[in-house]
Amino acid sequence: MCPVVSFLRIILFSATMPALITAEDLAAGKFYCAFHVVVKSHSGAPLPRVDVEAIADGRTIARARTGGSGLAKLCDAPLGLIDIAVGNTRCGYSVVKFVRATWPRTTRLVVTYNNTLDDAACAGTTFGSFPTDCQVLLRVHDAEGKPIPGARFDLGPAVSKRTSDALGRIFFSLRAGTRVVGSLEAAARSSEKIALACDPDLTPLIERSVSLAAFQGATSAPAAREVAPTKRR
């Protein structure tokens, strides 16, 4: 009797919760859905056609897309903790961390998603038409690793010079298939020539750290360094 009473208590207690299957449903083997995820904009409007993923141990285990009401259903989930990720691209994801399916109750999550972030951060409005361009970040520092502000990257008379900011960073973009050689210079420091090649399929994101030594007299011009390809992230 005790196991039956305990089971009935669970059912009666849970009957007041939303999206719950009943004792009759359980006996009939009714389909159970672990998560209902509602995706809304900041104004509260439902967002259709947004991808929603269940992630466990860094791996996507289930995926759905919101309909006109902003609802996506992730019905099959493990017993342990998972993450729910919302967004149509890896950039600009909204993530709900450490949620667990609570059988027999369907867990309902409401997520506010900034769907404009994909355009601003991922589509290249800052760096160019990603992925037809390569995004380049040069980090300029001294021998001790301290950033050098005001360093200039000169690509020739036809292109304006780029200047490093307070953190020693220089941002710019390169068109696909472009190969350039530029001179990196800073006051009272030796210059460095940097060669860059843009292949968006191989290296859409190019980030390099460059050290400029304090000037100690005339030195021969350094040879241009080809940027080693890195795996696409």
- Measured CA to CA, the distance from residue 154 to residue 182 in angstroms comes to 5
Instruction: Give the separation between CA 77 and CA 55, rounded to whole angstroms.
Output: 9
- Which residue, of 118, 137, 157, is where some domain finishes? 118
Q: Find the domain containing 76 and state its range.
A: 31-118
> Do 94 and 43 have their domain in common?
yes
Of the residues 118, 142, 158, the one at which a domain ends: 118
Map residue 10 onto helix, strand or coil. helix
Select the more confidently predicted residue: 196 or 205.
196
Q: Are residues 211 and 157 in the same domain?
A: yes
Examine the domain organization and report whether 77 and 168 are in the same domain: no
Among 59, 90, 118, which residue terminates a domain? 118
With respect to residue 57, please indicate whether it lies within any of the assigned structural domains: yes
- My answer on whether 110 and 140 are in the same domain is no
More confident residue, 50 or 127: 50
Q: What is the pLDDT of residue 31?
A: 78
The residue that leads in pLDDT, 114 or 96, is: 96
Residues 99, 133, single domain; the answer is no
Residue-wise pLDDT for 167-184, tens only, equals: 999 988 888 888 999 999
CA neighbor of 115 nearest in space, from 169, 66, 152, 151 = 66
Say whether both 41 and 84 belong to one domain. yes
- The answer to whether position 71 is within a domain reads yes
pTM: 0.49
137 and 83, same domain (yes or no): no
CATH code of the domain in which 214 resides: 2.60.40.10
- Do 220 and 129 have their domain in common? yes
Q: Do 149 and 217 share a domain, yes or no?
A: yes
Spatial neighbors of 50 by CB under 8 A, at least 6 apart, are 39, 65, 66, 70, 72, 86, 87, 88, 113, 115
The predicted pLDDT at position 25 comes to 60
- Lowest mean pLDDT, pick from 28-32, 35-39, 144-148, 200-204: 28-32
Pure H helices in 50-187: 117
Strand partners, 172: 136
CA pair distance 174, 136, nearest whole angstrom:
7
Same-domain check for residues 145 and 107: no
Q: In the prediction, which pLDDT does 176 show?
A: 86
Q: Is residue 18 part of a domain?
A: no
Q: Does residue 63 surpass a pLDDT of 80?
A: yes
What count of residues does the chain have? 233
Q: Is residue 200 part of a domain?
A: yes
The number of folded domains in the chain is 2
Question: Quick one: 64 and 144 in the same domain?
Answer: no
Do 112 and 142 reside in the same domain of the chain?
no
pLDDT score of 114 more than 50: yes
pLDDT score at 61: 92
Instruction: Judge whether 20 lies within some domain.
Output: no
What CATH code is carried by the domain that includes residue 99?
A: 2.60.40.1120
Residue 17 domain flag = no
Q: Let me know if residue 41 belongs to a domain.
A: yes
d(CA 180, CA 56): 43
Ranking 11-15, 108-112, 137-141, 187-191 by mean pLDDT, the lowest is: 11-15
- Residue 28: pLDDT band by 50, 70, 90 thresholds? low
Q: How confident is the model at residue 203, as a pLDDT? A: 83
Instruction: Name the token pair of 67.
Output: 């309909």
Per-residue pLDDT band at 52 (split at 50, 70, 90): very high
Note whether residue 5 is domain-resident.
Answer: no
